[in-house]
Amino acid sequence: MKRMKRCRSCGKYTLKPDCCGQQATTAHPPKYSPQDKYAAYRRREKYGEMEQSRVEK
Ligand SMILES: [Zn+2]
């Protein structure tokens, strides 16, 4: 059974392991949402930068 993958660069779905010279990501992620996890990390980084700039001033 083949799984569809998606190119992170051009956004197209592909059956190949890579596209546009990059590794294609699976189009069917597991039950947990890695996107939420990364979003939380991004928020924390952003917040941390804000705090840092505030301290520098
Ligand atoms: Zn591509």
The pTM of the full predicted model, rounded to 2 decimals, is 0.43
What pLDDT, on the 0 to 100 scale, is given for residue 54?
64
Q: What is the tally of structural domains in the chain?
A: 1
What pLDDT, on the 0 to 100 scale, is given for residue 10?
95
Closest by CA to 24, choosing from 44, 39, 38, 4, is: 4
25 CA distance to ligand 1 centroid (A)?
11
| pLDDT tens for each residue of 38-56 | 666 677 767 666 655 666 6
CB 32 within 8 A of CB 42: no
Give the structural domain span for 27: 5-56
CB 19 within 8 A of CB 27: no
Q: What is the CATH number of the domain that holds 47?
A: 2.20.28
7 CA distance to ligand 1 centroid (A)?
5
| pLDDT tens for each residue of 2-52 | 678 999 899 999 999 999 999 998 876 666 555 666 666 677 767 666 655
28's CB contacts (< 8 A; 6+ apart) are 3, 4
